[in-house]
Every structure is written in C-alpha cells, then in structure tokens.
Chains A and B, each alone.
Chain A
C-alpha cells in the first residue's frame, strides 16, 4: 500500500493538560511533563477542533493529565465539537466531576464518559493513585450512570491489582455498568519507567483470560467486557493506531501534534505544533506523520509479511522505547529478531516501590 494521498483522520485526542492530582505509576504520559506547561488557550483548542472537523474527524477524546482540571476548556471543546457534529468522549478519573459540571457538559452535547478506577478497594486504589480519591470516584461513577450519557468503566491492570479482576467485575455489576474495560498497562512514558513493578505474571494473565471469558458468558447482553493483554506476552504486535498517521492524531497540552499519544518519546522525529502550522499540513505532509505511514517504510520481516496490513508493523513507540529505533519491527512480534527481549523484560524482578508520576520529578 503506497499512500500518495493522506487518509482521513477519524479521531482526535486532545490532551488538554498534563496536570493531574493523581500519581499513577502506569500513566503513559511523557516523563518530562513540565515541558508541556505552556498550554494552549481555550480558543486555540476550539480552533484545533474546527480544523480537525474540516479534515473529517468524527470523534474527539478529551483527556490529559486530568482534563477537568481545565473545566472551562473541556466545556469549550465539547461546544465546538458538538457544533460540528463531532462525537465527544471525556476520559477522566472523575475526582472533580460534580453534579453541576457534569450537567453542563451533558447540556453542551457530551456523548460519553470514561472513568477509571485504580482498584476495587479503597486502600489499594488510593495507594496506587497516591491520593485519597477512590470514594469520590465511586460517587462520580454513580453520577454519570444515573444521567443520560454513556459510561465506560476502566481499570488499568498490572501486577498489584490483576488478581482483583473478579472484584472489579463485581463492582461494575453493582453500578450497572454496561461497558467495562480491563486493560493491561501499555508500557510507555511513566509506565515504561515502572515496567518491572507493573508487569503482571504470565499466570495472572492466563487467569485473567479465564475470569473474563466466564464473566462475558454470564453477563452477555448486560455488560460488555474488554480484556486487553499486555503485548509482552503475545506473539503478534497490536495494530497500533490502526497504522501510523492513518486514522488518529493527538494534540498535546502545548500544541504538539503526534500520530500516537506515546510518540513524543521518539526523539529522532521532529513533531510539529499547531501554533506554527495548520493541522491539515501537519496531518498530510509533515515529516513526522509521513515517516511511517503506509507500508513503504517497512524493513524486513514486515515488508514481506502477510500481516503487514493487519498490524502495520506494530507500535513505532514501542520499537523506540525498547530498541531505540522507531523504524524497526515492534519487538512484540514473534518474527522480530529482538522478540526475546520482551520475555526477558517480563521476568525482571520487580522493585519494592514504583516511581510516582509527578510533574516536578523531571526538574529535580
């Protein structure tokens, strides 16, 4: 597949701020958070959304950091997106989502809320989050659930909470959740730093598959449960972003535009900024978006692989994080000559403590 014409972007992730009141060790945000303090203004975000709509984007995801730390920006973004017929999704940890704010967002056209919890029990959840927030999150879940807006409950899985999947499912049942995501940590940014603390064991992952299969059967038609495996235990890489520069883009708090939310880690590419260039040029023609678009960039074994348009060579960011070269086959692929590194990483002895995600950590 040679792409002479850029495909249509369908989805835009707006990371409104990297500030967050939690310190979860599995955060995929970049490690140098303080480099993004110069945040776009509300009207700049609105302009980004209008430019994205002109390009054909159909869905806008509002995330961060914690997006509701910029409550008015979230509202302005929902308003602009709704004006253009775009579907809006708020990805939040919920600790600031009070009645008034939620009602304003829904009135402005918010379509869907994703709330994440750290664990099914207060003590462990608060320990992972680094703050006493679990009870407030449960209140936010109830608030969203009882209103006319769609809700997905998410729990990021790792070694410390993986055994509690049945309790997470129970909690979701108790709240009448229709859509539950049990997604293993993706190892980027802070999560890559904390990889050996977070990595579940193979036994945990296999048990998780059985637990989910049983729950899916039991709850069919009532709750949809998605279980995402860590790709360190898989034979084939994930079809990351459905191809680089193919359907998704991310705008970070300071206006940098990325083909993947984790791409800022790739120091060998220069990523453009919406303050300096139109979004359409960045999407269509910039070096960073064209670098790995299509299949022409692929090395072997991807180039001649029958799966090259199924998984697109896997994840460029993972190739960079693990191998230092974003242009190599994702080491999660069994055909990669570096695949053994993944098994090796999954057997590292976990440290006693994790590095909490902090905005100031990179300045010390």
Chain B
C-alpha cells in the first residue's frame, strides 16, 4: 500500500539514476528484472522500457519524450506513467 507520488517527492526536474545496489538485468527481449538489495523485481515490458533509459543524465521529461517518439504515443499519457513508476521506485530508494 503506497501513496501515489506527491509534490514533495517530485521526480520531474532531476536526472534519474539508479541508487547504489540497484541494477537492471535483462535476458533477450522478454525477460527483465530489477536487482535490488535482498530482492528481485520482475519487470513488465513498459517498466523495462522506462528503466532502460535511466542513465544518470535523463529526466522524466526526457524519457517520456523518447518513449513518445519510439511508440508514436501521446507524451502526456507516457509522462504520467513514467512519473508514477519512477516516483514509486524513488520512494522505495531504488532510484535517485
């Protein structure tokens, strides 16, 4: 049970990067996991698409723009999804 991201934990402005001890593991096109301290999170395709773009320089807006271009989708919807995913991962200390 987690609250949705609020203004205090805004992920809008800063470049996103993985916290220490967190990394992405992918196998082929279908399998992706986020390896975190003492756990393994199974990632679906959309979470993987976002997390593959986290590189320490891109912001939420950068990532949403790239995905909008790639999937020819409306940027506002994508932005909402990216904010929601990254907000919850940041709250759990997996992204900074």
Contacts and interface: CB of A to CB of B under 8 A. Distances in A.
A10 B91 contact: no
Given A58-B33, A58-B35, A148-B20, A224 B40 contact: no
Given A150-B22, A221-B90, A89 B9 contact: no
B21 A111 contact: yes
A149 interface: yes
A150 B40 contact: no
B25 A58 contact: yes
B9 A59 contact: no
Question: Which of A59, A85, A152, A224 has the most B CB atoms < 10 Å from its CB?
Answer: A59
A184 to B, nearest CB: 17
Interface in A100-158: 111-112, 114, 148-152
B19 interface: yes
A179 interface: yes
B37 A11 contact: no
A221 B33 contact: no
Contact of A224 (B8, B23, B35, B93): B93
A221 B37 contact: no
Nearest to B40: A10
B37 A179 contact: yes
Question: Which of B20, B23, B38, B40 has the most A CB atoms < 10 Å from its CB?
Answer: B38
A228 to B, nearest CB: 12
Interface in B1-54: 8-9, 19-23, 25, 33, 35, 37-40
B37 A89 contact: yes
A20 B58 CA distance: 46
A150 B35 contact: no
A178 interface: yes
A61 interface: yes
A contact patch SS: strand
Contact of A152 (B38, B90, B92): B38
A58 B40 CA distance: 8
Interface residues of B, number: 18
Contacts of A111: 21, 23, 35, 37
B25 A85 contact: yes
A149 B40 contact: no
A178 B35 contact: no
Interface in A80-110: 85, 87, 89
B37 A112 contact: yes
A195 B93 CA distance: 34
B21 A150 contact: yes
A220 interface: yes
A292 B10 CA distance: 45
Contacts of A59: 35, 38-40
B21 A112 contact: yes
B40 A179 contact: no
Contacts of B39: 59
A87 B93 contact: no
Question: Which of A58, A61, A148, A223 has the most B CB atoms < 10 Å from its CB?
Answer: A58
A315 to B, nearest CB: 18
Nearest to B33: A58
A224 B89 CA distance: 11
Contacts of A61: 38
B91 A220 contact: yes
Given A111-B35, A114-B37, A179-B37, 16 more contacts: A10-B33, A61-B38, A111-B23, A111-B37, A114-B38, A149-B20, A150-B19, A150-B20, A150-B37, A152-B38, A179-B93, A220-B9, A221-B8, A221-B90, A223-B93, A224-B91
- The 6 A-B pairs at the shortest CB distance, nearest first, are namely A150-B21, A150-B20, A112-B21, A87-B35, A112-B37, A224-B93
6 contacts: A59-B39, A61-B38, A87-B35, A152-B38, A221-B90, A224-B92
